[in-house]
Structure 1
Amino acid sequence: MEKKKVFHFFSSRMATKFHISRRLLERGWRESTNANEAVFTDQNLTLNDEISTHLEYKHLLARLSAKYFPDKMPLTYCVNDQNFEQVLAKMTYEHYMENNRYQKTIADLKWILKPSMLNNGDQIKLFNNVEELRTHFASVNRLGGEHVIQQYISNPALIDGRKYTFRVHAVFTNYDGIFFYKQGYVNISAYPFSLSEGFKNKKIHITNYVLDGEFSHIEQRASQTLENFPVVYQQMCSIVRTTVKSLLKLAPDYLKPQQRRIFELFGFDFMLDQNGKVWLLEINQAPDAPTFEENRLDQILWNVYWNDILDDFVLPIAHATKPHYSNFTHLLKQRDCYSFFADLFSKISANL
């Protein structure tokens, strides 16, 4: 008997749903407007947004990191409209006082300000010292709300003299643990790296594909083209594993098995410094991926990746097929992701 090939998405505008629906249609599936007749729907793609925001929102991730893995992320301060004066005073005391004397500028100590809930490089600002931060926060035209002030990594590893960052995808499931894709890509700045002129050209220092609503003309390469990626990847695996374990301390029932099997994609952004240390920069829930034709990484990365997502996650949920996970590292098994007793203890403690 032929298995049912029907899926339903309320909207396919999100990159993940766009690519899954496109490839299901290529395999002879039918999209239905009725979720009840589908064997795969939106509800199979979202775990728990309330908990996932602790990874997506930069100030919540910073707090999680500060509590459980402070050595994995650059030094980060959470700042908002109510506490910015205290935060800047704390930064001044901790970094700009030498022998009880205030130093306006410290060599190689610079800062990057990011809105906690925006992506695509929107409203990212760079500062040479705390005085520039004070001037920014005194402005009536600045963006309000939750932000993070993160220490700028002033000694980044370079490719052809240019700064770069990594993006590698992870898959969280509520039935078989955590997976980390074995390949990703790097965003390489279009300009040679230099700090001699400060931050006049943000495109030297920020490698987002889109920056303040405009294409930044970065170069993208598959991570497998980098000779040192196998070594770098092992550090990444350790960071992702630690991040998930830390999140589960905060929310032990996040990956609790349910009757409905669910998986969700997260994009982890990393940077490598000249000492060989990998830094976690941020995490994107339902990460973006190119939806236009003829992306230069299609053949070497994206086509394989999205077919792996179908074969290892979508079809096993829809048709109970056996996944192979050949292009994924199985970072955490399901037994590592949920404990009934830890969940029970957390609920009891919350009610005390």
Structure 2
Amino acid sequence: MHVYIQAASPWLNEPLKGFIREHVPESTFYDNFADFPRDARTVFQICDGWELNRNFAATNSAEKALINAYPNSDALARKNYLSRAVEFWTAKRPGSILKTHSPLTVCLSLDYAEYVDEALMAADDLTLFHSLQENENKAPAEREWWILKPALVDCGAGIRLFSTLEELASHLELAENEVEDEDDEDEIEEGLAEKDAGKDFSPNLSFPGLNTLDGLVTAVGGMKLDAKGLGNGQLTKKQPYVFKEGGRIPSSEMREFVAQRYITAIAPLEKRKWHVRAYVLSIGRLKVYVFREMLALLALEDYEPPWLNPSLKSSLTNTGLQDEEDILAKESMREFWAAPDDLLPGGESWKERVFDQICEISSEIFRAAAHTMADKFTTVDRCYELFGVDFLVDMDGTAWLLEVNETPAFYQQSIAGPIALRLMESVILVALEHMGLVDSGEEKNADVRKRMIEVLDETNTLAKSNITEILPEE
């Protein structure tokens, strides 16, 4: 077996190689993909996600292969698509657990703050619009609160809390940029006039208004392409969104958001809000496993409801918003099963009940995505993917599905490191079993295997796929 390991968390590379050697000792490892043989018959890959095109090509040519990413998993990873999958699935299955364990979510297309009321009226669901109207005449503690999330941006960026139309608008970008656009048009006209007058004029893709190839060709007429760029100009990389703490979201560039009903009735862990990070493995077409060991991720500050403390450091449990020093000093990552037995009603059994809910919800959401959004959750037998699925647990012990994360981050420090190693050891075992390289009944693997709880097997239920290979983009 020819193996290429380039994990998103580099500290896992060597342990992953060790887990593979334990089961397939004759494996050959390559640190440089340029050396990877194009005629390899058996291929196993773990990639960081940025070079998937070339890695998919190696998977196509092999007789037996497995790679750690599906061609498309947007139905799970994009918050607006995840909401649609729940909506589509529960529309005909009102008894589904997703109906009662997924917070009400409204998909929004937002740009400027001045037009937020039009955006609410244009949404498919007017629940949010009516809720904000009713909140106007209520005291903050009596309102229904909402949380705004960009559909695709991760690490907690761009998340805001609100309860009124005015509060929502205050989080969005103002339309001042439209004035700048008018100035840009004047600059373009001046530049074209200079060109007609025979003056030196060398626009490129960074020139205002010419950020597309069509616009540039229209402006300058004939041109030559070279390896370095377009004519005298250079291709410019789109700048990432800039989220300032407490500032306005660059909504005119993002557009797609979800507003989710904010759950305030929670049981704080050592006075801090927390959520469960579960690791869910999806493999082939389609089996789903939940790793029994889970993390409890804590907010940085003591919890207070948003009407008393609107600080995101109190309300958000995403570790992406915390510095590594804070995570360690405040012990923001805990082992779920070590949580106090008396935190929720039922004694120590509340943790088992939460885990059972997480298994059932995970099974149902992957099933829903595969059956209702096959174009956005493209399951292929030669692919597998590990997701970090987040759940909030309320005062009643109900687990609520918050979001699904592709390529979850793995920390080496504290208790997160050993859990990550045990997780990847189980992932490798299940993956090699799927390839037929390891006997699933081997007794020596029993302890590693039982950490993974199989919650779904749609192998004989999904319609036959007509995908024969994954073509890389040119």
Count of residue pairs the alignment pairs up: 326
Would the aligned equivalents of 1:166 and 1:184 in 2 still touch at CA under 8 Å?
yes
Counterpart mapping for 1:106-121 below 5 A: 107-121=142-156
Deviation readout 1:251-284 (Å, 9 max, x if unpaired):
45857664xx321111110000012211000001
Counterpart code for 1:221: R
1:40 corresponds in structure 2 to: 44
- Given the superposition, is the C-alpha separation of residues 255 and 13 from structure 1 closer, same or farther in structure 2, using an over 3 Å criterion? closer
Q: Matches of 1:124 and 1:185 in 2, distance apart?
A: 22
2:406 corresponds in structure 1 to: 285
Could you tell me the TM-score, scaled by structure 2's length?
Answer: 0.61
Q: Matches of 2:173 and 2:283 in 1, distance apart?
A: 44
Counterpart code for 1:223: F
2:137 corresponds in structure 1 to: 103
Q: Any idea what SS the aligned residue of 2:292 has?
A: strand
RMSD: 3.1
Structure 2 unaligned segments of length 5 or more: list them: 47-55, 57-65, 90-97, 176-247, 340-347, 441-445, 467-474
Query: Alignment partner for residue 208 of structure 1, among 306, 313, 318?
Result: 318
1:339 corresponds in structure 2 to: 463
1:78 corresponds in structure 2 to: 107
Structure 1 unaligned segments of length 5 or more: list them: 345-352
1:135 corresponds in structure 2 to: 170
1:304 corresponds in structure 2 to: 422
- Given the superposition, is the C-alpha separation of residues 174 and 135 from structure 1 closer, same or farther in structure 2, using an over 3 Å criterion? same
Identity among equivalent positions (%) equals: 20
Q: Matches of 2:423 and 2:309 in 1, distance apart?
A: 36
2:275 corresponds in structure 1 to: 165
Deviation at 1:66, TM superposition (A): 2.4
More displaced stretch, 194-203 vs 145-154: 194-203
* 1:330 correspondence with 2:443: no
Who wins on radius of gyration, i.e. which is larger?
Answer: 2
Would the aligned equivalents of 1:169 and 1:181 in 2 still touch at CA under 8 Å?
yes
Counterpart code for 1:338: L
More displaced stretch, 181-190 vs 39-48: 39-48
Deviation at 1:46, TM superposition (A): 4.3
1:246 corresponds in structure 2 to: 368
> Greater share of strand residues, 1 or 2?
1
2:4 corresponds in structure 1 to: 8
More displaced stretch, 270-279 vs 143-152: 143-152
Q: Any idea what SS the aligned residue of 2:337 has?
A: helix
Q: Matches of 2:151 and 2:8 in 1, distance apart?
A: 20
Deviation readout 1:190-233 (Å, 9 max, x if unpaired):
32211275444211110111218887635111112134321101
Q: Any idea what SS the aligned residue of 2:294 has?
A: strand
Deviation readout 1:68-118 (Å, 9 max, x if unpaired):
2343221111112368433435356522455xx952656142121111111
Deviation at 1:67, TM superposition (A): 2.6
Q: Any idea what SS the aligned residue of 2:334 has?
A: strand
1:350 corresponds in structure 2 to: none
Query: Alignment partner for residue 316 of structure 1, among 433, 440, 443?
Result: 433
2:384 corresponds in structure 1 to: 263
Could you tell me the TM-score, scaled by structure 1's length?
Answer: 0.80
Q: Matches of 1:86 and 1:214 in 2, distance apart?
A: 41
Query: Alignment partner for residue 130 of structure 2, among 94, 116, 121?
Result: 94
Q: Matches of 1:242 and 1:58 in 2, distance apart?
A: 16
1:153 corresponds in structure 2 to: 263
Would the aligned equivalents of 2:280 and 2:288 in 1 still touch at CA under 8 Å?
yes
Query: Alignment partner for residue 66 of structure 1, among 87, 97, 100?
Result: 87
